[in-house]
Amino acid sequence: MRRLKYSFLLLFIAACNSPQAVYDYDQQVDFSQYKVYSIYPDLQTGLSQLDESRLLESLNSKLQEKGFSNTGDAGIYVNVYTKRFEQDNRSRVGLGVGGGGGNVGVGVSGGIPIGQMDTYFELTFDFIDVKNDALVWQAVVEAPFDVNAEPQKRQEQFNKIVSKALDGYPPNR
């Protein structure tokens, strides 16, 4: 019973901290035709140069695992852009004052935020058909991101984000 409780707790913590993805695609497209990709020529990720190279390393590795090649005439351009935002971490210290007498009670309480805001990245992955210049598949991944992490930890964060994004490719019909 104790293990079951700890398993649920661990699952809950992991679910709160893992990347969340949303997918969209053109239902008329045959995705089996795309085997060669290239990074979008005018790529502007919005990341620092070092983080962009980490992201592209993760992306190239995962695409090659999925059977893509980046040599030859590209059938798909892969574009990635990011949006960084901060969210309240919801950690609070509660304070309250109350009193009463007889059958009447009155209380006032409030929460004082502690800690810093949490940083999140929203990465959008676009697959664009080169011939038709049309968006055929898209993944939007929102994930917590530690901007003060060591380089190896940052690479691991990008690996998780890219993996989550490409879990939805090719789309199941």
Confidence (pLDDT) at 14: 45
Domain 18-90+113-166 matching CATH 3.40.50.720: the answer reads no
pLDDT cut 90: percent of the chain above it: 58
For the chain, the average pLDDT equals 84
d(C-alpha 34, C-alpha 43), whole Å: 20
Q: Is the dihedral of CA 44, 131, 136, 162 positive or negative?
A: negative
Which DSSP letter does residue 33 get? Answer: G
Rounded to two decimals, the pTM is 0.74
Q: What are the structure tokens assigned to 82, written together?
A: 């990011």
Confidence (pLDDT) at 3: 55
Higher pLDDT pick, 102 / 146: 146
- Specify burial of residue 170 (Cβ count, 10 A radius: 0-12, 13-18, 19+): middle
Q: Which residues pair with 109 in a beta bridge?
A: 96
Confidence (pLDDT) at 153: 95
Angle between helices 49-65 and 151-166 (to 10 degrees): 40
